[in-house]
Protein backbone atom coordinates (compact mmCIF):
# COMPACT_ATOMS: atom_id res chain seq x y z
CA UNK A 1 0.00 0.00 0.00
CA UNK A 2 1.35 3.42 -0.93
CA UNK A 3 1.42 6.34 1.48
CA UNK A 4 -1.35 8.01 -0.52
CA UNK A 5 -3.53 4.91 -0.21
CA UNK A 6 -2.98 4.79 3.55
CA UNK A 7 -3.96 8.48 3.76
CA UNK A 8 -7.02 7.90 1.56
CA UNK A 9 -8.23 5.00 3.71
CA UNK A 10 -7.73 6.97 6.94
CA UNK A 11 -9.64 9.95 5.55
CA UNK A 12 -12.53 7.77 4.43
CA UNK A 13 -12.70 6.12 7.85
CA UNK A 14 -12.53 9.58 9.51
CA UNK A 15 -9.49 8.48 11.49
CA UNK A 16 -7.08 11.06 12.87
CA UNK A 17 -4.02 11.28 10.62
CA UNK A 18 -1.41 13.94 9.78
CA UNK A 19 0.58 14.24 6.56
CA UNK A 20 3.97 15.97 6.77
CA UNK A 21 5.60 17.08 3.50
CA UNK A 22 8.95 18.79 2.89
CA UNK A 23 7.90 21.83 0.83
CA UNK A 24 11.07 23.96 0.84
CA UNK A 25 14.79 23.46 1.31
CA UNK A 26 17.33 26.19 1.99
CA UNK A 27 20.71 24.75 0.86
CA UNK A 28 22.77 27.55 2.44
CA UNK A 29 21.33 26.53 5.84
CA UNK A 30 22.53 22.97 5.48
CA UNK A 31 19.67 21.28 3.63
CA UNK A 32 20.04 19.62 0.26
CA UNK A 33 18.25 21.12 -2.70
CA UNK A 34 15.41 20.04 -4.96
CA UNK A 35 17.57 17.79 -7.10
CA UNK A 36 19.85 16.47 -4.36
CA UNK A 37 18.71 15.42 -0.90
CA UNK A 38 22.22 16.10 0.44
CA UNK A 39 24.03 14.47 3.35
CA UNK A 40 20.94 14.49 5.58
CA UNK A 41 18.77 12.74 3.00
CA UNK A 42 16.01 15.37 3.04
CA UNK A 43 14.41 15.78 -0.37
CA UNK A 44 11.69 18.12 -1.63
CA UNK A 45 8.29 16.41 -1.44
CA UNK A 46 9.45 13.77 1.09
CA UNK A 47 6.56 12.59 3.25
CA UNK A 48 5.70 11.17 6.64
CA UNK A 49 2.24 9.92 7.62
CA UNK A 50 1.61 10.21 11.35
CA UNK A 51 -1.17 8.74 13.51
CA UNK A 52 -1.92 9.55 17.16
CA UNK A 53 -0.30 6.26 18.20
CA UNK A 54 1.73 3.64 16.42
CA UNK A 55 4.52 3.72 13.87
CA UNK A 56 4.66 6.38 11.19
CA UNK A 57 4.75 5.64 7.48
CA UNK A 58 7.39 7.03 5.09
CA UNK A 59 10.29 9.30 5.96
CA UNK A 60 11.36 12.91 5.54
CA UNK A 61 14.96 11.76 5.09
CA UNK A 62 16.42 10.87 8.48
CA UNK A 63 15.28 9.53 11.86
CA UNK A 64 16.06 12.71 13.79
CA UNK A 65 13.85 14.90 11.61
CA UNK A 66 11.14 12.20 11.53
CA UNK A 67 11.07 12.01 15.33
CA UNK A 68 10.68 15.76 15.85
CA UNK A 69 8.08 16.13 13.11
CA UNK A 70 6.13 13.11 14.44
CA UNK A 71 5.93 14.85 17.83
CA UNK A 72 4.78 18.14 16.24
CA UNK A 73 2.30 16.36 13.96
CA UNK A 74 0.68 14.62 16.94
CA UNK A 75 0.38 17.97 18.72
CA UNK A 76 -1.22 19.39 15.55
CA UNK A 77 -3.74 16.53 15.56
CA UNK A 78 -4.78 17.46 19.11
CA UNK A 79 -5.64 21.01 18.07
CA UNK A 80 -6.63 20.32 14.45
CA UNK A 81 -4.03 22.86 13.30
CA UNK A 82 -2.50 22.77 9.80
CA UNK A 83 0.64 24.83 9.19
CA UNK A 84 4.18 24.97 7.83
CA UNK A 85 7.02 24.64 10.38
CA UNK A 86 10.74 25.12 9.99
CA UNK A 87 13.58 22.91 11.23
CA UNK A 88 17.25 22.22 10.86
CA UNK A 89 18.13 19.27 8.58
CA UNK A 90 18.15 16.98 11.66
CA UNK A 91 15.01 18.49 13.19
CA UNK A 92 16.83 21.20 15.14
CA UNK A 93 14.64 23.98 16.53
CA UNK A 94 15.12 27.64 15.59
CA UNK A 95 16.56 26.81 12.18
CA UNK A 96 15.04 27.28 8.77
CA UNK A 97 16.84 24.77 6.55
CA UNK A 98 13.75 22.63 5.96
CA UNK A 99 10.13 23.79 5.69
CA UNK A 100 7.67 21.01 6.54
CA UNK A 101 3.96 21.39 5.82
CA UNK A 102 2.05 19.51 8.52
CA UNK A 103 -1.52 18.94 7.44
CA UNK A 104 -3.68 17.53 10.19
CA UNK A 105 -6.78 15.60 9.29
CA UNK A 106 -8.56 15.36 12.60
CA UNK A 107 -11.91 13.60 12.87
CA UNK A 108 -14.86 15.96 13.36
CA UNK A 109 -14.95 17.58 16.80
CA UNK A 110 -17.63 16.28 19.16
CA UNK A 111 -20.35 18.28 20.88
CA UNK A 112 -22.24 16.66 23.72
CA UNK A 113 -25.45 18.49 24.63
CA UNK A 114 -27.10 17.62 27.94
CA UNK A 115 -30.80 18.38 28.14
CA UNK A 116 -33.38 17.54 25.47
CA UNK A 117 -34.99 20.99 25.17
CA UNK A 118 -35.88 23.42 22.35
CA UNK A 119 -32.48 25.07 22.61
CA UNK A 120 -30.90 21.67 22.06
CA UNK A 121 -32.43 21.26 18.60
CA UNK A 122 -31.27 24.72 17.50
CA UNK A 123 -27.79 24.27 18.98
CA UNK A 124 -27.53 20.83 17.39
CA UNK A 125 -28.33 22.29 13.96
CA UNK A 126 -25.80 25.12 14.39
CA UNK A 127 -23.14 22.65 15.57
CA UNK A 128 -23.73 20.46 12.50
CA UNK A 129 -23.23 23.55 10.33
CA UNK A 130 -19.81 23.98 11.97
CA UNK A 131 -18.93 20.33 11.36
CA UNK A 132 -19.42 18.85 14.84
CA UNK A 133 -20.54 15.32 15.56
CA UNK A 134 -23.48 15.91 17.88
CA UNK A 135 -24.66 13.79 20.81
CA UNK A 136 -27.83 14.70 22.69
CA UNK A 137 -28.14 13.17 26.15
CA UNK A 138 -31.03 13.38 28.62
CA UNK A 139 -32.19 10.98 31.33
CA UNK A 140 -35.84 11.31 30.28
CA UNK A 141 -36.73 8.80 27.53
CA UNK A 142 -39.86 10.78 26.55
CA UNK A 143 -37.76 13.76 25.52
CA UNK A 144 -34.52 12.17 24.34
CA UNK A 145 -35.73 10.69 21.06
CA UNK A 146 -34.15 10.71 17.57
CA UNK A 147 -37.48 12.01 16.23
CA UNK A 148 -37.12 15.20 18.28
CA UNK A 149 -33.46 15.61 17.36
CA UNK A 150 -33.06 14.38 13.79
CA UNK A 151 -29.86 16.44 13.37
CA UNK A 152 -28.09 14.56 16.17
CA UNK A 153 -25.64 11.82 15.26
CA UNK A 154 -26.57 10.10 18.49
CA UNK A 155 -29.37 10.46 21.06
CA UNK A 156 -28.62 8.88 24.41
CA UNK A 157 -31.01 8.24 27.30
CA UNK A 158 -28.81 8.39 30.35
CA UNK A 159 -27.80 10.55 33.26
CA UNK A 160 -25.19 13.11 32.12
CA UNK A 161 -22.55 12.13 34.66
CA UNK A 162 -22.98 8.44 33.85
CA UNK A 163 -22.70 9.15 30.11
CA UNK A 164 -19.52 11.20 30.66
CA UNK A 165 -18.06 8.46 32.82
CA UNK A 166 -18.33 6.27 29.70
CA UNK A 167 -17.21 8.66 26.93
CA UNK A 168 -15.45 11.51 28.79
CA UNK A 169 -12.03 10.03 28.16
CA UNK A 170 -12.49 10.62 24.42
CA UNK A 171 -13.17 14.35 24.80
CA UNK A 172 -10.31 16.74 24.01
CA UNK A 173 -9.50 20.40 23.43
CA UNK A 174 -11.49 20.59 20.18
CA UNK A 175 -14.67 19.17 21.71
CA UNK A 176 -17.55 20.84 23.52
CA UNK A 177 -19.96 20.01 26.33
CA UNK A 178 -23.08 22.19 26.57
CA UNK A 179 -25.25 21.77 29.64
CA UNK A 180 -28.72 23.05 28.79
CA UNK A 181 -30.68 21.23 31.49
CA UNK A 182 -30.70 24.18 33.94
CA UNK A 183 -31.91 21.82 36.61
CA UNK A 184 -29.41 21.47 39.45
CA UNK A 185 -30.11 17.76 39.87
CA UNK A 186 -28.79 17.17 36.34
CA UNK A 187 -26.42 20.02 35.64
CA UNK A 188 -24.28 19.99 38.78
CA UNK A 189 -23.24 16.33 38.28
CA UNK A 190 -22.88 16.96 34.52
CA UNK A 191 -20.51 19.91 35.05
CA UNK A 192 -18.54 18.07 37.73
CA UNK A 193 -18.13 15.12 35.36
CA UNK A 194 -17.25 17.36 32.40
CA UNK A 195 -14.55 19.09 34.47
CA UNK A 196 -12.84 15.70 34.84
CA UNK A 197 -12.42 15.56 31.04
CA UNK A 198 -10.04 17.53 28.81
CA UNK A 199 -12.96 19.09 26.92
CA UNK A 200 -12.07 22.50 25.43
CA UNK A 201 -15.44 24.21 25.80
CA UNK A 202 -17.80 23.75 28.70
CA UNK A 203 -20.89 25.96 28.69
CA UNK A 204 -23.91 25.93 31.00
CA UNK A 205 -27.24 27.60 30.37
CA UNK A 206 -29.26 29.51 32.91
CA UNK A 207 -29.95 33.01 34.14
CA UNK A 208 -27.40 34.89 36.23
CA UNK A 209 -29.41 33.94 39.33
CA UNK A 210 -29.55 30.27 38.32
CA UNK A 211 -25.83 30.31 37.74
CA UNK A 212 -25.06 31.99 41.09
CA UNK A 213 -26.97 29.19 42.83
CA UNK A 214 -25.24 26.63 40.64
CA UNK A 215 -21.82 28.01 41.54
CA UNK A 216 -22.67 27.55 45.23
CA UNK A 217 -23.70 23.93 44.57
CA UNK A 218 -20.59 23.31 42.49
CA UNK A 219 -18.42 24.60 45.34
CA UNK A 220 -20.27 22.27 47.72
CA UNK A 221 -19.48 19.46 45.29
CA UNK A 222 -15.80 20.30 45.66
CA UNK A 223 -15.20 22.31 42.46
CA UNK A 224 -12.43 24.87 42.96
CA UNK A 225 -11.71 28.20 41.28
CA UNK A 226 -9.81 26.60 38.42
CA UNK A 227 -12.78 24.38 37.60
CA UNK A 228 -15.27 27.23 37.91
CA UNK A 229 -13.05 29.24 35.57
CA UNK A 230 -13.59 26.65 32.84
CA UNK A 231 -17.38 26.97 32.95
CA UNK A 232 -18.80 29.42 30.44
CA UNK A 233 -22.02 30.49 32.15
CA UNK A 234 -24.34 32.09 31.46
CA UNK A 235 -23.61 30.37 28.15
CA UNK A 236 -22.91 32.38 25.00
CA UNK A 237 -21.72 35.74 23.77
CA UNK A 238 -23.37 38.99 24.79
CA UNK A 239 -25.26 39.61 21.55
CA UNK A 240 -28.74 39.93 23.00
CA UNK A 241 -29.88 36.53 21.73
CA UNK A 242 -33.48 35.63 22.50
CA UNK A 243 -34.77 32.71 20.44
CA UNK A 244 -33.31 29.19 20.55
CA UNK A 245 -31.74 29.83 17.14
CA UNK A 246 -30.17 33.14 18.18
CA UNK A 247 -28.93 31.54 21.38
CA UNK A 248 -27.37 28.73 19.33
CA UNK A 249 -25.49 31.33 17.27
CA UNK A 250 -24.28 33.06 20.43
CA UNK A 251 -23.05 29.73 21.90
CA UNK A 252 -21.27 28.68 18.69
CA UNK A 253 -19.71 32.13 18.35
CA UNK A 254 -18.44 31.86 21.93
CA UNK A 255 -16.88 28.47 21.16
CA UNK A 256 -15.08 29.98 18.15
CA UNK A 257 -13.90 33.02 20.12
CA UNK A 258 -12.62 30.83 22.97
CA UNK A 259 -10.68 28.68 20.50
CA UNK A 260 -9.18 31.63 18.62
CA UNK A 261 -8.52 33.66 21.76
CA UNK A 262 -10.46 36.66 20.46
CA UNK A 263 -11.98 39.16 22.84
CA UNK A 264 -15.62 38.80 21.94
CA UNK A 265 -17.70 39.72 24.99
CA UNK A 266 -18.92 36.58 26.76
CA UNK A 267 -22.00 36.93 28.92
CA UNK A 268 -19.91 35.52 31.74
CA UNK A 269 -17.59 38.50 31.65
CA UNK A 270 -20.13 41.30 31.46
CA UNK A 271 -23.09 42.40 33.56
CA UNK A 272 -26.66 43.22 32.68
CA UNK A 273 -29.53 41.47 30.97
CA UNK A 274 -28.82 38.45 28.78
CA UNK A 275 -31.56 39.13 26.26
CA UNK A 276 -32.07 42.25 24.20
CA UNK A 277 -34.90 44.39 25.50
CA UNK A 278 -37.94 44.70 23.31
CA UNK A 279 -37.22 47.33 20.67
CA UNK A 280 -33.57 47.61 21.57
CA UNK A 281 -31.64 49.09 18.69
CA UNK A 282 -27.98 49.85 18.10
CA UNK A 283 -26.62 53.30 18.84
CA UNK A 284 -27.03 55.67 15.92
CA UNK A 285 -29.97 56.19 13.64
CA UNK A 286 -32.89 54.03 14.69
CA UNK A 287 -34.92 52.51 11.86
CA UNK A 288 -38.48 53.61 12.27
CA UNK A 289 -37.54 56.72 14.26
CA UNK A 290 -38.92 57.71 17.64
CA UNK A 291 -41.64 55.05 17.82
CA UNK A 292 -39.21 52.19 17.44
CA UNK A 293 -36.81 53.69 19.96
CA UNK A 294 -39.52 54.05 22.57
CA UNK A 295 -39.31 50.41 23.56
CA UNK A 296 -35.94 51.09 25.16
CA UNK A 297 -37.68 52.69 28.09
CA UNK A 298 -40.26 49.95 28.29
CA UNK A 299 -40.37 47.11 30.79
CA UNK A 300 -37.24 45.10 31.19
CA UNK A 301 -37.39 41.46 30.18
CA UNK A 302 -36.42 38.76 32.62
CA UNK A 303 -32.73 37.95 32.83
CA UNK A 304 -33.19 34.23 32.41
CA UNK A 305 -33.82 32.15 29.36
CA UNK A 306 -37.43 31.20 28.79
CA UNK A 307 -38.24 27.94 30.55
CA UNK A 308 -37.65 24.80 28.52
CA UNK B 1 -7.47 16.68 0.42
CA UNK B 2 -10.67 15.04 1.58
CA UNK B 3 -12.84 17.02 -0.84
CA UNK B 4 -10.88 15.95 -3.94
CA UNK B 5 -10.52 12.25 -3.06
CA UNK B 6 -13.51 11.17 -5.15
CA UNK B 7 -12.23 12.77 -8.35
CA UNK B 8 -8.63 11.68 -7.72
CA UNK B 9 -9.75 8.08 -7.27
CA UNK B 10 -11.78 8.24 -10.49
CA UNK B 11 -8.75 9.58 -12.43
CA UNK B 12 -6.43 7.01 -10.91
CA UNK B 13 -8.84 4.20 -11.78
CA UNK B 14 -8.77 5.44 -15.40
CA UNK B 15 -4.98 5.29 -15.36
CA UNK B 16 -4.53 9.05 -15.56
CA UNK B 17 -1.65 10.81 -13.83
CA UNK B 18 -2.58 13.37 -11.20
CA UNK B 19 -0.94 16.46 -9.67
CA UNK B 20 -1.92 17.87 -6.31
CA UNK B 21 -1.60 21.55 -5.31
CA UNK B 22 -1.96 22.49 -1.66
CA UNK B 23 -1.91 25.85 0.10
CA UNK B 24 0.92 25.47 2.64
CA UNK B 25 1.13 29.02 3.97
CA UNK B 26 -0.76 32.31 3.73
CA UNK B 27 0.53 35.76 4.65
CA UNK B 28 -1.86 38.61 5.18
CA UNK B 29 -5.41 38.23 4.01
CA UNK B 30 -6.07 35.13 1.94
CA UNK B 31 -9.28 33.45 0.91
CA UNK B 32 -8.34 29.87 1.84
CA UNK B 33 -6.35 28.50 4.74
CA UNK B 34 -3.39 26.13 4.58
CA UNK B 35 -4.65 22.71 3.57
CA UNK B 36 -6.91 23.94 0.73
CA UNK B 37 -6.29 21.48 -2.08
CA UNK B 38 -6.71 21.34 -5.82
CA UNK B 39 -6.14 18.23 -7.90
CA UNK B 40 -5.44 18.31 -11.64
CA UNK B 41 -5.46 15.36 -14.01
CA UNK B 42 -2.96 15.12 -16.85
CA UNK B 43 -5.68 15.96 -19.36
CA UNK B 44 -6.61 19.12 -17.50
CA UNK B 45 -9.60 18.16 -15.35
CA UNK B 46 -9.71 20.06 -12.06
CA UNK B 47 -11.17 19.29 -8.62
CA UNK B 48 -11.14 21.50 -5.53
CA UNK B 49 -9.70 24.99 -5.19
CA UNK B 50 -6.85 26.85 -3.52
CA UNK B 51 -8.20 30.40 -3.56
CA UNK B 52 -11.31 32.42 -4.12
CA UNK B 53 -10.68 31.98 -7.83
CA UNK B 54 -7.89 34.50 -8.45
CA UNK B 55 -4.94 32.12 -8.82
CA UNK B 56 -6.67 28.90 -9.86
CA UNK B 57 -5.70 29.28 -13.52
CA UNK B 58 -2.04 29.79 -12.73
CA UNK B 59 -2.01 26.81 -10.37
CA UNK B 60 -3.55 24.55 -13.03
CA UNK B 61 -0.75 25.64 -15.42
CA UNK B 62 1.88 24.80 -12.81
CA UNK B 63 0.27 21.42 -12.15
CA UNK B 64 0.19 20.53 -15.85
CA UNK B 65 3.85 21.61 -16.17
CA UNK B 66 4.80 19.34 -13.27
CA UNK B 67 3.01 16.43 -14.96
CA UNK B 68 4.42 17.16 -18.42
CA UNK B 69 7.96 17.98 -17.31
CA UNK B 70 10.45 16.32 -15.02
CA UNK B 71 7.85 15.62 -12.33
CA UNK B 72 9.75 17.64 -9.73
CA UNK B 73 7.60 19.27 -7.05
CA UNK B 74 7.67 23.04 -6.74
CA UNK B 75 6.64 25.73 -4.27
CA UNK B 76 4.82 28.59 -6.01
CA UNK B 77 4.15 31.98 -4.47
CA UNK B 78 1.31 34.19 -5.56
CA UNK B 79 0.75 37.59 -4.11
CA UNK B 80 0.23 41.25 -4.57
CA UNK B 81 3.56 42.96 -5.15
CA UNK B 82 5.16 45.79 -7.11
CA UNK B 83 7.70 43.23 -8.21
CA UNK B 84 7.00 42.18 -11.76
CA UNK B 85 7.94 38.63 -10.83
CA UNK B 86 4.49 38.23 -9.35
CA UNK B 87 2.45 38.02 -12.50
CA UNK B 88 -0.60 36.67 -10.73
CA UNK B 89 -2.00 38.51 -7.75
CA UNK B 90 -4.62 38.12 -5.09
CA UNK B 91 -7.05 41.01 -5.08
CA UNK B 92 -7.22 40.81 -1.28
CA UNK B 93 -3.57 41.82 -0.96
CA UNK B 94 -2.38 38.60 0.65
CA UNK B 95 0.33 36.17 -0.39
CA UNK B 96 -0.33 32.48 -0.78
CA UNK B 97 2.27 29.70 -1.05
CA UNK B 98 1.12 26.66 -3.00
CA UNK B 99 3.06 23.38 -3.14
CA UNK B 100 2.51 21.59 -6.43
CA UNK B 101 3.59 17.96 -6.83
CA UNK B 102 2.80 14.85 -8.81
CA UNK B 103 0.67 12.31 -6.93
CA UNK B 104 3.28 9.56 -7.26
CA UNK B 105 3.64 8.72 -3.57
Higher pLDDT among residues A265 and A201, named by residue:
A201
Decide if pLDDT at A81 tops 60.
yes
Of A56, A55, A38, A39, which Cα lies nearest the Cα of A47? A56
In three-state form (DSSP H/G/I as H, E/B as E, the rest C), the secondary structure along A189-221 is: HHHHHHHCCCCCEEEECCCHHHHHHHHHHHHHC
pLDDT of residue B80: 57
pLDDT-based confidence at B70, cuts 50/70/90? confident
How many angstroms separate the CA of residue A84 from the nearest CA in chain B?
A: 6
Percent of chain B beyond pLDDT 70? 87
pLDDT by residue (tens digit) across B7-28?
A: 999 999 999 999 999 999 998 8
**pLDDT category of residue A51 using cuts at 50, 70 and 90:** very high
Q: What is the mean pLDDT of residues A42-50?
A: 95
Percentage of the residues of chain B whose pLDDT score is greater than 90: 58
Do A42 and A88 touch, CB atoms closer than 8 A? no
Q: Residue B9: name the closest of B33, B49, B41, B44 by CA.
A: B41
pLDDT tier at A286, thresholds 50, 70, 90:
very low
Residues 49-78 of A with CB under 8 A from B: 58
- How many folded domains does chain B comprise? 1
Cβ <8 Å between A4 and B103: yes
pTM of whole model > 0.90? no
The CA distances from residue A80 to A86, A172, A173, B41, B101, in Å, are 19, 11, 9, 29, 24
Which ipTM was obtained for this model?
A: 0.89
Mean of per-residue pLDDT scores for chain A: 87
pLDDT for A235 equals 95
Residue A262's pLDDT is 87
Q: Is the pLDDT score of B85 beyond 90? A: no
> Which segments of B1-104 does DSSP mark as H helices, in order?
5-13, 56-68
DSSP A105: E
CB contact under 8 A, B33 and A23: no
B46 in contact with chain A, both atoms CB, cutoff 8 A: no
Task: For B24-39, write each residue's pLDDT tens digit.
Answer: 999 887 778 899 999 9
CB contacts under 8 A, A 101-140 vs B, are 101, 103, 105
Three-class DSSP labels, A30-83? CCCECCECCCCCCCCCCEEEECCCCCCEEECCCHHHHHHHHHHHHHHHHHCCCE
Domains, chain A, with CATH or none: 3-105 (no CATH), 110-293 (3.40.50.720)
Share of chain A above pLDDT 90, in %: 72
The pLDDT of residue A292 is 38
**In this predicted model, which residue has the larger pLDDT, A233 or A262?**
A233
Q: What is the pLDDT of residue A293?
A: 37
* Mutation for testing the A interface, residue in B35, B39, B104 having most A CBs under 10 Å: B35
Q: Which of A235, A231, A211 is nearest to A223 (CA)?
A: A231
Structural domain that includes position B73: 2-102
A11-15, A151-155, A178-182, A183-187: least confidently modelled range: A183-187
Q: Does the distance separating the beta carbons of B73 and A44 come in below 8 Å?
A: yes
Taking CB atoms and an 8 Å limit, are A83 and B9 in contact across chains? no
What is the strand order of the sheet A154-157 is part of? A154-157, A133-138, A110-114, A176-179, A201-204, A231-232
Are A100 and A21 in contact by the 8 Å Cβ rule? The answer is yes
Q: What is the mean pLDDT of residues A272-291?
A: 56
Amino acid sequence: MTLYEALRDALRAEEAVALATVVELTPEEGAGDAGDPGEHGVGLGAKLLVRPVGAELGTLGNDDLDRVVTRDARAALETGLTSTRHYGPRGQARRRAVAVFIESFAPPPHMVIFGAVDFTAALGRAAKLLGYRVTVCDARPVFATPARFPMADEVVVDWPDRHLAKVGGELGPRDAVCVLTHDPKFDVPAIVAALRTRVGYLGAMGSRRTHAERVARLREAGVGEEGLGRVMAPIGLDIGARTPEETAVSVCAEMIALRTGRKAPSLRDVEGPIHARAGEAPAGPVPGGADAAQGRDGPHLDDGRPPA
Amino acid sequence: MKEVLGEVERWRAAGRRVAVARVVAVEGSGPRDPGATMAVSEDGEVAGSVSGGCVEGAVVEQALEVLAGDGVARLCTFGYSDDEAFAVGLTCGGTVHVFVEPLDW
